[in-house]
Amino acid sequence: MVVIEEKYSIPRDFEGFGEEGFNPQWPNNARIAVSFVLNYEEGGERNILDGDNQSEPYLWEKGSSGGSKPNARYLNSEQDFEYGSRSASWRLLRLFKEFSWNFTTYAVAVALQKNPTFAKALVREGHEIAAHGYRWLDIWDYTPEEEREYIKKTVKVLEEVSGEMPVGAYFGRGTPQTHAKFLEIWEELGGEFLWSSEVYNDDVPYWLDLPWEGAKKEEERKGLLLIPYNYDCNDGKFHMAPGFGSSVAESYENYLKNTFDMLYREGGKMMNIPLHTRIIGKPGRCEALRKFMKYVAEKEGVWVTTRRDIAKHMHEKFPYRPNGKWMEGVQKE
C-alpha cells in the first residue's frame, strides 16, 4: 500500500513560466545547454541471485518478446545486462573522451559496486555520478522509514565506491514523495545536495518551494532545484512501444537532431539525452549517437555539460528565494 505524506506533497503547476518564458542565461552566451545522462543499472536489476523472485523483464535487447522467468535465472537477460557493464561502458567512455565532453551518470549503487573500476574511471574522466537508487527496483510501496534508509544506503555506497558523494539524484522509481526528501536526507548525512531531476515538465531548470520548509523563516529555506528530465529522447525507447524500433538507429539520430534544432533555434533551453549502457552501447546505436555528437560539435554556442555544473550555474546566477522571488528581475526569453 502506498503511503502518502502530506508534508512532502508537491502541488501541480500548469502555468510554469508562461508566455514570456525563462532564460537561464547560460555561460558564455550559449544558446543551449546539452546534458547527456548515462543510466548505469547493470547488476542492480532483478535477479534471483540477489533475492528477487524473477529475472529482469524490462529494457533489455529482446524487448517485449523477452519476458522473464519466475524463480529462475534467465541467462539471456542477465548477459545483455553484463554486456552493458563489460563492454559498452568502456565504449561510451572512449566516445565521450573523443569529444572531450562530460556526462552525468544516474548510478544504481549496487551496479557501480559490482564494477568499481568503471566507477573510478568515471571520476577520473570528470563525469558526474548522481544517485539512481540502491538497486534498479520499484520502491513505490516502501514505508517512510524504509524509504529513508534506502536513500541513505544509496548515497553511502556511491560515495564509498566512487570516492565522491553525489550532489544530485534521479531515482525514477520512488514513492510519490521521494524527491521532496532528498535535501533533508543529504543534510542528515552531512552532504551538499544541489539538484533533483524527478521532473519532466519543462525545458529549463527551476526552483521549487518545499512544503516541509514552510514553517522556517524565508532566509532559512533552501528550496529544491529541479533540472527537468525526459522520456522522448531516451534510448530506452528502442525497447519500448511505441519507440525508435529495435535496430533503427537512424530514427533515433534524426529525432535527436530535430529536438536539438528546435531548442537551439528557440535559445535559452536545455536538451536531455538519456542513455543506457546496454542499449546505446551496442555498436550500431553508438555510431548513431556519435553522428549526433558530431552534428552538435559543429554548432556555435553549445554548452555540453553535467547536471552538476548546470546546478552550480543556477545556484550562482539565480539563487533561491521563496515564493517565486528568485524570478524577480530575471531576464525573460
Q: Give the integer Cα–Cα distance in Å for 283 and 196.
A: 31
Q: Could you tell me the domains of the chain? A: 22-327 (3.20.20.370)
Q: Give the integer Cα–Cα distance in Å for 301 and 283.
A: 29
Nearest by Cα to 44 from 56, 32, 54? 56
Confidence (pLDDT) at 3: 87
Q: Which three cell numbers stand for residue 39?
A: 543510466
Q: Give the integer Cα–Cα distance in Å for 168 and 227.
A: 10
114, 171, 193 from 212: Cα distances, Å: 36, 20, 16
Residue with cell 524463480: 71
Confidence (pLDDT) at 248: 74
Nearest by Cα to 154 from 173, 177, 127? 173
Q: Give the integer Cα–Cα distance in Å for 257 and 188.
A: 42
Q: Check: CB of residue 191 under 8 Å from CB of residue 225.
A: no
| Residues β-bridged to residue 35 | 272
Q: Check: CB of residue 37 under 8 Å from CB of residue 307.
A: yes
163: left (phi over 0), alpha (psi -120 to 50) or beta: left
Nearest by Cα to 85 from 44, 133, 138? 44
Confidence (pLDDT) at 246: 60
Confidence (pLDDT) at 245: 67
Confidence (pLDDT) at 249: 83
Q: Give the integer Cα–Cα distance in Å for 205 and 317.
A: 12
pLDDT per residue rounded down to tens, the chain (333 residues):
788 899 999 999 999 999 999 999 999 999 999 999 999 999 999 999 999 999 999 999 987 777 889 999 999 999 999 999 999 999 999 999 999 999 999 999 999 999 999 999 999 999 999 999 999 999 999 999 999 999 999 999 999 999 999 999 999 999 999 999 999 999 999 999 999 999 999 999 999 999 999 889 999 999 999 999 999 999 999 988 777 766 678 899 999 999 999 999 999 999 999 999 999 999 999 999 999 999 999 999 999 999 999 999 999 999 999 999 998 866 554
Checking DSSP bridges between strand 224-226 and strand 206-208, what pairing results, if any? antiparallel
